[in-house]
């Protein structure tokens, strides 16, 4: 993710992700695992099965585009 805030590795953040095929945003908690400038990598915490399925479907669709 590209963010205009400064977070440190290990910080926990509340994320709201709007996926193209979802009627409402996913409200998630995640911990910062990677940072390079304003680019961040997160590890999602305590995903519900439905949230995991939605993210997996979205990410598999991204692989086909890239």
61 band by pLDDT with thresholds 50, 70 and 90: confident
Q: Give pLDDT, residue 63.
A: 59
Q: Give pLDDT, residue 47.
A: 93
Q: How far apart are CA 27 and CA 44, in angstroms?
A: 11
Q: Are 41 and 13 spatial neighbours (Cβ–Cβ below 8 Å)? A: no
**pTM (two decimals):** 0.76
Residue 6 pLDDT > 50: yes
Residue 9 pLDDT > 80: yes
Q: How far apart are CA 63 and CA 37, in angstroms?
A: 24
Q: How far apart are CA 66 and CA 62, in angstroms?
A: 6
Arithmetic mean of pLDDT, 8-25: 92
The three-class DSSP label of residue 5 is: coil
Cα 66 → chain centroid: 18
């Amino acid at each position: 993710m590209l963010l205009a805030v400064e977070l440190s590795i290990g910080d926990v953040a509340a994320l709201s992700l709007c996926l193209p095929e979802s009627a409402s945003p996913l409200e998630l908690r995640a911990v910062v695992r990677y940072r390079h400038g304003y680019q961040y990598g997160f590890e999602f915490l305590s995903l519900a099965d439905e949230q995991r399925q939605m993210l997996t479907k979205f990410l598999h669709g991204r692989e086909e585009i890239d």
